[in-house]
Amino acid sequence: MTYTAFYVILVGQDCFFYTGRHVGCFLLEGGNAMSKTMKTVTDLVQLVLGNAMSACAMACFALPYDMVVAGVTGVGRSANHFFGFGVTLTVYAINIGLFVIGWILLGKKFAATIVAGTFLFPFFLGLFQNIDALHHLVDDPLMAAICAGIMDGVGIGMVIRMGGSTGGVDVPPIILNRKFGWKVAPVMSALDVCIFIIQIPMTNTNGIILGIFYTLIYSVVLNYILVMNQGGVQTMIFSKEKSRTINEKLLELGYGTTIFPAKGGYIQEDFEVISSVISSRNLNRVKRAVLNIDPTAFITISNVSEINGNGFTTMFGDEDYVPIVSQRREGIKVIEDEEKN
């Protein structure tokens, strides 16, 4: 009698089972609802924390050192200097005004995407500005610019990654895009440049240079946060005699594959090329598996900026790809028998 080891792994409300060669997944009763609830809670926490970090960058690092800043906070800073209006009050007024305009012109679905940023950012901005102990957390202005750029980039990146928006000056470019077809990025850049220029007469040279440095760091960090853990590598594996065995090994390890027919340009010999997109951390594991089967295999590796689909952003079982799993298992046995012979 043959016994097959059967392991069950419970992750949250999802149950994964492993039988030695096959991994499957099913949802426990109520698991789907629980997963959606957890995702909602996670998104909410991320939205609140992201707005708090962005506000902290402004209130605790940028504004105390009189840096030029972009966005609606830059408008608030200008209004405070020229008219004596409070920065937080100005930000609130502009955000709410643009929120209403966006609701009227673009509808309630668009308004729903910016409602959190409309109120959360100015709330945290006012909160941090009223806590004197948080002002000038660092003595070096250059270090303050670095901290502001990092915190703002991480904060805004968190908000954008969960599908939210900070509202404010994001709204006019979107309205112009929807109504007149203007491109969002150039309009947004033009607005930021105008906001920067308005602040020049009231800012010394150090504040201008520090503000530009802060903006550059913010841009780099934001870009990194947006693509973090979204990418991987694409491998192309060329093996003349072991391609089918390599393919089965990769599938056994849990990596999806695509097989392309190919022909060598020099000797005009037909063979198969295996393509597999994997996360960067699993690259060495794949290389070792391939070279253990065929030490002469030719492998090319290309960076992939973002991956969406099964195994990365979704998860399906083997049955979703092969209607009759037994046929695939029979195919594996044929290959194993061929290797023995």
220-276 pLDDT, tens per residue?
Answer: 898 788 766 666 788 999 988 888 899 988 888 778 888 999 888 888 888 889 999
Domain, as residue range, for 300? 231-305+327-341
pLDDT at 166: 73
Residues 65 and 132 in one domain: yes
Buried b (16+ CB within 10 A) or exposed e, 131-150: eeeeeeebeebeebbbbbbb
Residues 204 and 277 in one domain: no
Instruction: For residue 29, tell me if it sits in a domain.
Output: no
Of 13-17, 58-62, 279-283, 299-303, the poorest mean pLDDT is in 13-17
Q: Which amino acid is at 168?
A: G
Domain total in the chain: 2
Residues 127 and 267 in one domain: no
Average pLDDT over the chain, rounded to whole? 78
- Strands of the sheet containing 7-11, edge to edge, are 7-11, 14-18, 23-27
- Tokens coding 170: 């994001």
pLDDT at 19: 37
Q: Which of 53, 47, 76, 48 is nearest to 63 (CA)?
A: 76
More confident site: 86 or 322: 86
pLDDT at 327: 47
Residues 196 and 246 in one domain: no
Q: Which of 84, 82, 90 is nearest to 58 (CA)?
A: 90
Residues 132 and 238 in one domain: no
Residues 186 and 298 in one domain: no
Instruction: For residue 111, tell me if it sits in a domain.
Output: yes
Q: Which of 170, 200, 227 is the last residue of a domain?
A: 227
Instruction: For residue 20, tell me if it sits in a domain.
Output: no
How far is residue 147's CA from residue 150's CA, in Å, rounded to a whole number? Answer: 5
- Tokens coding 229: 């853990």
Residues 186 and 283 in one domain: no
Residues 172 and 296 in one domain: no
Q: Which of 198, 242, 178, 231 is nearest to 74 (CA)?
A: 198
Q: What pTM does this model have? A: 0.63
* Helices within 57-182 (DSSP H only): 71-83, 87-106, 108-129, 141-161, 171-180
- Tokens coding 225: 């946060």
Instruction: For residue 208, tell me if it sits in a domain.
Output: yes
Residues 202 and 111 in one domain: yes
Sole residue written with tokens 């500005």: 129
Report pLDDT digits (tens) over 62-98. 999 999 998 899 999 999 999 999 999 999 999 999 8
Instruction: For residue 74, tell me if it sits in a domain.
Output: yes
Of 5-9, 92-96, 110-114, the poorest mean pLDDT is in 5-9
Beta-carbon contacts of residue 255 (< 8 Å; ≥ 6 apart)? 276, 278, 282, 286, 311
Residues 53 and 112 in one domain: yes
How far is residue 84's CA from residue 72's CA, in Å, rounded to a whole number? Answer: 16
How far is residue 27's CA from residue 13's CA, in Å, rounded to a whole number? Answer: 7
- Report which listed range, 62-76, 151-165, 184-198, 246-260, is most confident: 62-76
Residues 293 and 223 in one domain: no
- Tokens coding 47: 């939205």
Residues 99 and 150 in one domain: yes
More confident site: 59 or 233: 59
What CATH number did the domain enclosing 335 receive?
3.30.70.120
Dihedral, 144, 145, 148, 152 alpha carbons, nearest 10: -170
How far is residue 197's CA from residue 23's CA, in Å, rounded to a whole number? Answer: 59
The count of other CB atoms within 10 Å of the CB of residue 101 is 14
Instruction: For residue 118, tell me if it sits in a domain.
Output: yes
Of 8-17, 81-90, 206-215, 229-238, the poorest mean pLDDT is in 8-17
Q: Average of pLDDT values for 161-184?
A: 79
Q: What are the phi and psi torsion angles at 69 (to 5°)?
A: -135, 150
